Amino acid sequence: MQLLTNLKFDDKGLIPAVIVDVTDNRVLTLCFMNQDALEKTIETGKVHVFRRSKNRLMLKGETSGHTQSVEEVYLDCEGKSLVIKVKQNVAACHAGYMSCYYRKYNDKTDNIEIIEEKVFDPEKTY
């Protein structure tokens, strides 16, 4: 696979992947992929990640059903990171928001503000 020959995985065999909504270019989440996760992502058209906390490969949305269908894959100039544009099913964030980046720092008030509405109740999903 030509994509793999152009990538530089880190010393743990991982590469960061920024997951972006294809409809509005909004950043949904950041994940890490090893070679197996990337190959499975390309093969199935669904985002697979390497969960560092569980030390295993998994389908994004495996528990919730909130999968991500791959539309486009980009690599940076040095081959050290990916941007994957997806069609998101329901939401990307485990906390119930569409994006994991639902909080914004306000430097004028030195507060962190929630800038999105929840789209699902995580207690009913997980």
Question: Measuring CA to CA, how many Å separate 84 from each of 54, 65, 124?
Answer: 22, 19, 28
Identify the three-state secondary structure at position 39: helix
> Given this model, what pLDDT does residue 100 score?
98
> Given this model, what pLDDT does residue 126 score?
83
> Given this model, what pLDDT does residue 84 score?
98
Please report where in the chains the tokens 């530089």 appear, as a residue: 8
pLDDT digit string, tens, across residues 103-125: 999 999 999 999 999 999 999 98
The domain limits of the chain are 2-93
Mean pLDDT of the chain: 97
For residue 112, the cross-strand partners are 105
pLDDT digit string, tens, across residues 19-47: 999 999 999 999 999 999 999 999 999 99
d(CA 126, CA 121): 9
The whole-model pTM stands at 0.94
Contact 57, 50 (CB under 8 A): yes
2-93 CATH fold: Ubiquitin-like (UB roll) (3.10.20)
d(CA 51, CA 62): 12
